[in-house]
Amino acid sequence: MDADALSLYGVSFASRLIVGTAQYPSPAILSNAIAQAKTEIVTVSLRRESGSSRAGENFWALIRQLGVRVLPNTAGCRTVKEAVTTAEMAREVFNTPWIKLEVIGEEDTLQPDVFGLVEAAAILSRDGFQVFPYTTEDLVVAEKLLRAGCEVLMPWGAPIGTGRGLNNPYGLRALRAHFPQVPLIVDAGIGAPSHAAAAMELGYDAILLNTAIAKAGDPATIARAFALAVEAGRMAYRADPMQPRDMAAPSTPVIGRAFTDLARA
């Protein structure tokens, strides 16, 4: 087993890129993007479909064919009750205790309702779920989520679907420093491979994204670019890169350099 493998609730993964499955132009494009991303985990939002219509059955079949682990998502839930109910339905549909927990509290930014999030996380953890909470970079909220039973935290980089990258690098860096042993996954707001690499260079364990791949002109190619960026960022972090400084420092040593006296008598 790779010593640098990603471990989530006791399961190890070689890939540190998690990809969403919404908004793709076609099933074929989705399948190609997942293959190019080399991801081992995809998120899937549970849709409330009529049992008689069998709507979505082809989509679920495609997800199974991808051979990846499914992380169900309570996307769009606004209340604790709605999130818990959706999680319970997802466990039955996908036969997994994993759940990406979203409790949205603000419409314009889709910011998490952190109070409801902690409450829902505690309920689901007691019921045997392994919760992946979509949260902010707030240290107090992070501590409460861990006490509620979460073993993974998923802070946002920026609001969902904005592609703005890392709005608060200071806060993300502080979160990493305060919880060095907790798997941290940047979720939401990643728009370019450079954003993913920057998050990984901060020491984050993985990246979760959807819109930046699904809405790209060439989803398969950008998916591959994200995979390479995540790998590069992780390698850079482990290599202990130089820290920025305020003053210049010569890269060429002064000792041994030839000097020419141009002064004339």
Q: Got the DSSP string for the chain?
A: --TT-EEETTEEES--EEEE-SS-S-HHHHHHHHHHHT-SEEEEEPP---TTTTTTHHHHHHHHHTT-EEEEE-TT--SHHHHHHHHHHHHHHH--SEEEE--B--TTT--B-HHHHHHHHHHHHHTT-EEEEEE-S-HHHHHHHHHTT-S-BEE-SSSTT-----S-HHHHHHHHHH-TTS-BEEES---SHHHHHHHHHTT-SEEEESHHHHTSSSHHHHHHHHHHHHHHHHHHHHT-PPPP-SS---SS-STT---------
| Cut 0.85: pTM above it | yes
If you compute the radius of gyration of the chain from its CA atoms, what whole number of angstroms results?
Answer: 22
Query: What is the per-residue pLDDT across 223-238, written as a single tens digit (0 to 9) for each?
Result: 999 999 999 999 999 9
Residue 143 has pLDDT above 90, yes or no: yes
Query: What is the per-residue pLDDT across 181-203, written as a single tens digit (0 to 9) for each?
Result: 999 999 999 999 999 999 999 99
Provide the 10 A C-beta neighbour count for residue 3.
Answer: 4
Mean pLDDT calculated for residue range 28-39: 94
Beta bridge partners of residue 154, listed in sequence order: 134
Which residue carries 């319970």 as its tokens? 88
Confidence at 50, pLDDT banded by 50, 70, 90: very low
Residue 3 has pLDDT above 70, yes or no: no
Of the candidates 115, 201, 104, the one whose C-alpha atom is nearest the C-alpha of residue 161 is 104
∠ CA 220-94-212, nearest 5°, is 25
Q: Is 38 a catalytic residue?
A: no
Mean pLDDT calculated for residue range 251-260: 66
pLDDT given at position 245: 84
pLDDT given at position 243: 84
Residue 49 has pLDDT above 60, yes or no: no
Residue 134 has pLDDT above 90, yes or no: yes
Confidence at 63, pLDDT banded by 50, 70, 90: confident
Mean pLDDT calculated for residue range 71-90: 94
* Least confident interval from 93-97, 140-144, 247-251: 247-251
Which is the catalytic residue, given 38, 81, 100, 144?
100
pLDDT given at position 65: 84
Residue 66 has pLDDT above 90, yes or no: no
Mean pLDDT calculated for residue range 147-152: 98
Mean pLDDT calculated for residue range 208-228: 96
Confidence at 51, pLDDT banded by 50, 70, 90: very low
Binding-site sequence positions: 161, 188-189, 210-211
Domains annotated for the chain, with CATH where assigned, are 6-239 (3.20.20.70)
Of the candidates 141, 191, 140, the one whose C-alpha atom is nearest the C-alpha of residue 167 is 191
Mean pLDDT calculated for residue range 106-116: 92
Mean pLDDT calculated for residue range 20-47: 91
Binding-site sequence positions for 1-deoxy-D-xylulose 5-phosphate: 161, 188-189, 210-211
Confidence at 211, pLDDT banded by 50, 70, 90: very high
Mean pLDDT calculated for residue range 131-147: 97
pLDDT given at position 6: 95
